[in-house]
Amino acid sequence: MNRAITFLFLFAVLIGCTTDDQQRPTAEQAKDFLTEYQKIATTEGPVISSAFWISSNFITHDSQVVAADYSKRYTLKGLEEARIAATFDDIELEALDRRALNLIKNGFVMPPPLNEELAGELSIIMTELEAMYGTGQHCFTEDDCYDLEAFENIIDSSRDPNELLKAWSGWREIGKPMKDKYLRMVDIGNQGSKDLGYSGLSDLWFSKYDMPSEDFAIMVDNVYEDIQPLYEALQCHVRAELNQIYGDSVIPLNEPMPAHVLGNMWAQSWSNIFDLVYEEEESTSIDLTNIILEKNLSETEMVEIAENFFLSLGFDKLPETFWQRSLFTKPQDRNVVCHASAWDIDTQNKDLRIKMCIQKNEEDFITIHHELGHIFYYQAYSDLPEIFQSGANDGFHEAVGDLLSLSITPNYLEKINFITPEESAEAKRNGISLLMKQALDGVVGVPWTLMLDKWRMAVFDGKLNDQELNDYWWELREKYQGIQAPIDRPSDAFDPGAKYHIPGNTPYTRYYLARILQYQFHESLCNSIGFDGPLHECSIYGNELAGEKLRSMLSLGQSKPWQEALEAMIDDKELSGKAMLNYYAPLKQWLDQENEGRACGW
């Protein structure tokens, strides 16, 4: 059956025009469809990727028009493919074919239904919500206006609770007009999910995890129970230290902490208040930014150092086109999107790139290692069919990137001649400082990444009425994070809208999985190379055995259930928080000593 006839036949089945049992889809037609899908993906995919690359690196009216057009057509084509894939749901297929069809089906997060009017309405709402966030600002008076960047500058650095409260509450004003649009979007998205054979958006979103959604929810909760004592000890210490600074009127010792004084607009990371909660000894501190500046490293040299990390593990060199086509510095002659990202433009032709406006500082040095984690993941699974060219689940890619950051240890910095053996030994003597810095982001983010999609699933499932949306948001934040709103929230508040991933429809469970998996990966690799010492001192740099084990997992892409990919890495299929506990064991012991006599919990 040729391509045109195949697609016309499948479309007829899709809309219910075919009733003869002998004309129902067959396994052979499923293979034909997957062959055609692969052909289109490999020929059209690179062109679409290039269009988006141009729109991010040459921000003009015309580049945005082209990208928007490609986006619309790519989405419509994807919906057509997803609906055709759904027509094969009830026939027996080879395991890989069934997996490929399921991945095509569940590749959407907010699908429109088979209704042109509703599809158009959904597109408009999604565009409006993104624009409301992206252009959001609040004016207290005509001459006192702030956008997110201005509000964040205050939240990140100010120590004045009144100024912090003004910035925190001001940014949340942008969420109020989003609520009705958000609920309408969810209503249409639920209809679209049902068109694809799912019970609703929750079922669609959690169909990606190779297990029943109910079992998945139980698993992630059980993993958090492993980590909860560590988080609660950290929360107790931070609350007590902030109480010493702000007093009982701002930080009561027997309540959840107010969200505005934690150094982050959403209190999802507390790293900006490190200096308030831990007194660091100057002699043991490694100033990576200063080292980079003293060595007068160029931006390209910073990337070469990160590439060398992977070469030391036995990975192949990056193609020459990576160095020719990536963006490392902010151009002076045009506007670009500076947010760091890794790009798989054309796998067949090894066209891999990163896009960063690199600053010569510690944060970007670590970020470069993270982005190259994505690049080498792309490289490892490049021989697989297009549909399987992704992480084993949506948390794996981020976990691999974050894995490398755990290996930027004093041992690593000594091996690349950034510090002397004496400086390395001195830094390791005060490992609590390093662990505290990491925990204020890595541990603090765990309950946040868990609760956000718990709130969203309750909305998707229709468990909340309009008046309960904001209250439930804060109920979950208090339950999981020990954080509360610093002031009573008005009845029209929609505080979830003040976080991009809600109006932008970016699933958040991936970040929860990534935070757990990176420590499982790290612990397994360190054990495999025979490292004997605290996990936070282990670096896999220079160990080809670790590289071989890492590649065995990366090369699977999304061709196997994530549990099998995890087993290839750690010899176990279970997601667990125990590796994170082992990593932070010295910090937990220190926190328990610091918290003696304190009233912990909330």
List the structure tokens of 431.
């490992």
Return the beta strands (E) in 418-522 as ranges.
483-484
3-state secondary structure of 162: helix
Amino acid at 65: V
Contact, 87 vs 25, CB < 8 A?
yes
CA 509 to chain centre: 8
Chain length of the chain: 602
171: left (phi over 0), alpha (psi -120 to 50) or beta: alpha
CA 124 to chain centre: 25
Residue whose structure tokens are 């949506």 = 394
Q: Is 480 a catalytic residue?
A: no
Of the residues 340, 362, 472, 594, only one is catalytic, namely: 340
Distance CA 280, CA 274 (A): 9
Residue whose structure tokens are 């889809």 = 25
Contact, 164 vs 272, CB < 8 A?
no
Nearest CA to 376 out of 316, 300, 321 is that of 316
Angstrom CA distances, 487 to 137, 146, 238, stand at: 20, 20, 20
Q: Is 511 a catalytic residue?
A: yes
- Helix (H) / strand (E) containing 251: none
Contact, 27 vs 91, CB < 8 A?
yes
Contact, 428 vs 537, CB < 8 A?
yes
Nearest CA to 505 out of 192, 47, 196 is that of 192
Nearest CA to 510 out of 220, 212, 182 is that of 220
Tally of CB atoms within 10 A around 290: 11
Distance CA 495, CA 267 (A): 13
Distance CA 225, CA 227 (A): 5
CB-neighbour burial class of residue 289 (10 A; exposed 0-12, middle 13-18, buried 19+): middle
Full DSSP string of 413-437: HHHTTSS-HHHHHHHHHTHHHHHHH
Q: Is 61 a catalytic residue?
A: no
Of the residues 398, 414, 523, 537, only one is catalytic, namely: 398
List the structure tokens of 501.
């991933």
Q: Is 237 a catalytic residue?
A: no
Of the residues 74, 501, 564, 567, only one is catalytic, namely: 501
Of the residues 374, 397, 522, 536, only one is catalytic, namely: 374
178: left (phi over 0), alpha (psi -120 to 50) or beta: alpha
Beta carbons within 8 Å of 76's beta carbon, 6+ residues apart: none
Q: Is 339 a catalytic residue?
A: yes
Helices 509-528 and 213-246, axial angle in degrees (round to 10): 90
Of the residues 370, 397, 522, 536, only one is catalytic, namely: 370
Distance CA 461, CA 202 (A): 7
Contact, 426 vs 283, CB < 8 A?
yes
Of the residues 299, 307, 371, 523, only one is catalytic, namely: 371
Angstrom CA distances, 211 to 27, 432, 561, stand at: 24, 38, 9
Of the residues 511, 512, 541, 583, only one is catalytic, namely: 511
Nearest CA to 360 out of 285, 287, 299, 295 is that of 299
**Neighbouring-strand partners of residue 494:** none
Amino acid at 321: T
Contact, 533 vs 217, CB < 8 A?
no
List the structure tokens of 260.
């505005």
Q: Known catalytic residues?
A: 339-340, 370-371, 374, 398, 501, 511
